[in-house]
Amino acid sequence: MLPDLFSFERRRVDLGPGAAILGGFALDQADALLEQIERLSLLAPFRHMQTPGGRRMSVAMLNAGSLGWVSDLSGYRYERTDPQTGWNWPPIPPVFLELASQAAQTLGFEAFVPDACLINRYAPGTRLSLHQDRDEQDHHAPIISVSLGLPATFLWGGLERRDRTTRYRLTHGDVAVWGGPSRLMFHGISELKDGVHPLTGALRYNLTFRKTR
């Protein structure tokens, strides 16, 4: 039996029930994903949202889908239109939907059809503090998170804020999935370190797919 030089075992990190990091799961689609991010940013520009407490989020965001996650002084919620333009959020590109569905299926979540895709853009020095994704009505569907560009440290906590966190490195093409008993786990991203990625320069992008209802 000759060794197969053209395939390799991809890293898979178990995060608990219904949750895992799928190493390099999006590598083949990464170019297409970045191309779509570029296109979407012309329709719904990246912006820094405000927290209900009046702080500016360091991470820049935009949405695709029939609903988009929005934060301002009034709170966190999903909106059909971009508050900045009054237009509908652009549709989720088919290449996004296909990837999200495949990643969900890998963890056993069948027929995952997200209605929201939040796109986060991290520059060096930016971060996303530990939080839960709990603004969705539907907590049965999983969360799918795709990493592109610069590597980051993923904080993976528990179901309560005080629970200890574990740190995992997320690199270009990794996909994290959490659903079922892990759906409301606290998570976050540590301050992004300086660096240069051949495809994104000094940036990291993250796609988060949610089924809000």
Q: What are the residues binding DNA (CB under 7 A)?
A: 51-53, 55-59, 69, 71, 75-76, 127-135, 161-162, 164, 188
d(CA 86, CA 80): 9
Residue 102 tokens, joined: 């495949």
CB of 62 to DNA, least distance (A): 13
CB of 27 to DNA, least distance (A): 25
Vertex 32: Cα angle to 29 and 34 (nearest 5): 105
Binding residues: 69, 76-78, 120-122, 131, 133, 135, 161, 187, 204-210
Residue (69 or 112) nearer to DNA, CB: 69
Write the DSSP symbol of residue 55. Answer: P
Buried/exposed code over 24-42 (b: 16+ C-beta within 10 A; e: otherwise)? bbbeebbebbbebbeebee
Residue (58 or 88) nearer to DNA, CB: 58
Binding residues for substrate: 69, 76-78, 135, 161
How long is the chain?
213
Identify the H or E element spanning 188.
strand 187-189
CB of 54 to DNA, least distance (A): 9
Residue (172 or 210) nearer to DNA, CB: 210
Residue 28: CB partners within 8 Å, gap ≥ 6?
none
Binding residues for Fe cation: 131, 133, 187
Residue (79 or 102) nearer to DNA, CB: 79
Q: Tokens 């440290």 identify what position?
A: 153
CB of 136 to DNA, least distance (A): 9
CB of 31 to DNA, least distance (A): 26
Residue (43 or 57) nearer to DNA, CB: 57
Binding residues for 2-oxoglutarate: 120-122, 204-210
d(CA 141, CA 119): 18
Sign of the four-CA dihedral 31, 12, 101, 16: negative
